[in-house]
Amino acid sequence: MANDRFSLPHPPASLYGSKRLLAVLCCLTGLFFSITTMAATASTTAASEQHLTRIHWCVFDVLGAAGPAKQMVDDYKIRALRWGIELSTEYYKDEQEASAQFDAGHCDLINLPDFRARKYNHFTGSINAVGAIPDEKHLGQVIQSLAQTEAQPLMRSGEYEIMGIVFIGGLHAFVTDRAMTRPEALVGRRISILEGIEESDYLIEQNGMIAVETDLAGMFHQFNTKQVDYTVAPLIVYEGLELYQGLEPNGGISRYPFAMATMQLVGRWENFPEDAGQKSREFVADSHLSIVKTIRDYEEPVPDKYWFDIPLQDFYHWDNVFTRARNDLATAGIYNPKMLKLLKKVRCKSFPDRAECTEAATKVF
């Protein structure tokens, strides 16, 4: 039923005020927690008649408890009552600080971007493998597959369980000069990256670029002030972060995303009621289409003049580069081989003529 899915907020008018940077990043996190409150009273009444498991949640939100995600998280808390869970929350503006508190046992639930969630589940944390998923439709197929009961063993790693995976946008290249669409033009160019994303080091070295490490707040400021030539981002941040400043006068945005970004909810499964993780994953997976619609609303303001398409010969170049990167990064232990098999299976279902698809199909789970 539609009313049993996420009810996502559309871009608020206040998004473009003086604090637009943190507001947009907060909305990125907020996409993960926006859930309907239909039948909230009934849920609370039903929950009061059963034993409630109390769980403390370290919420990553760049605006803390004052941000718009506050109401969204409160809505999720109401929903969790149906699963016999009473959630308390504590907000953190820095995802690594939240992760440290989670590691120390201060909380049993946390939300993190996929590349940060990888330390808790190598399998799901590899879902953002470069060049592995062409669009949100294919990602939706992956998320639905992982919400099946057959996939539950893969959702657990030691004491941790992935309780939901949510699409937050394709990662696109933002460049200050369209000449950088050519592979050779990237050599010596400066690119802003977030600390601790292991695959970034590999890709930057392979393409002869110069890495400039920063945090979320500084990443796009560097692009807008031309301190870097290149950055990557979901299109959802374009207008709120005024990335057109960095794009003028000769810059552009690659129409083709080179990866799909997700937010993942991580919990200590032994502290939750039985089947809570499965119920949560199914609930989140059923919301994928509504999430995609909301993200498209954020992306719509991007003017046509900024888009560029990668020439066909260069597309094949990057496809080969990304294929080699996935294999190398799997060998290095950064990407999970089983996840790469699942992503390949999804690709080959839509594009059976790809050279990689001539191999025999491999069962994932």
Confidence of residue 284 (pLDDT cuts 50, 70, 90): confident
Main-chain dihedrals φ then ψ at residue 329, nearest 5 degrees: -70, -30
pLDDT in tens, 56-99: 999 987 667 875 557 677 877 888 999 999 999 999 888 889 99
Q: Residue for token digits 């690119």?
A: 191
- Gap between the Cα atoms of 132 and 147, Å rounded: 19
The average pLDDT across 109-124 equals 95
For residue 16, the model assigns a pLDDT of 41
Domain map (residue ranges) of the chain: 2-167+261-301, 171-258+305-358
Bridge partner residues of 193 (DSSP) = 213
Confidence of residue 353 (pLDDT cuts 50, 70, 90): confident
The average pLDDT across 210-224 equals 88
> What's the Cα-to-Cα distance from 109 to each of 117, 163, 189, 325, rounded to whole Å?
12, 9, 39, 32
pLDDT in tens, 4-54: 555 444 554 444 444 454 444 455 545 544 444 444 444 444 444 458 999
* Burial (Cβ within 10 Å: 0-12, 13-18, ≥19) of residue 94: middle
Q: What angle do CA 22, 27, 29 make, to 5 degrees?
A: 100
Cα dihedral 103→105→106→107 (10° resolution): 90
Could you count the other beta carbons within 10 Å of the beta carbon of residue 306?
Answer: 17
How close are the terminal C-alpha atoms of the chain, in Å? 28
Selected from 3.30.1380, 3.40.190, 1.20.58, 2.60.40, the CATH number assigned to the domain covering 2-167+261-301 reads 3.40.190
Q: For residue 249, say if its preceding peptide bond is cis, omega within 30 degrees of 0.
A: yes
Could you count the other beta carbons within 10 Å of the beta carbon of residue 92?
Answer: 21
For residue 166, the model assigns a pLDDT of 87
Q: Residue for token digits 């930057």?
A: 204
> May I ask the CATH class of domain 171-258+305-358?
alpha beta
Q: Which residues contact 97 (CB under 8 A, 6 or more apart)?
A: none
Q: Which residues contact 231 (CB under 8 A, 6 or more apart)?
A: 173, 174, 191, 192, 219, 220, 222, 223, 246
- Gap between the Cα atoms of 363 and 365, Å rounded: 6
3-class secondary-structure state, position 216:
helix
Bridge partner residues of 253 (DSSP) = 174, 307
The reply to whether 2-167+261-301 and 171-258+305-358 are identical in fold is: yes
Bridge partner residues of 92 (DSSP) = 60
In this structure, the strands spanning 190-194 and 210-214 are parallel
Cα dihedral 317→322→324→327 (10° resolution): -170
Does the pLDDT at position 112 exceed 70?
yes
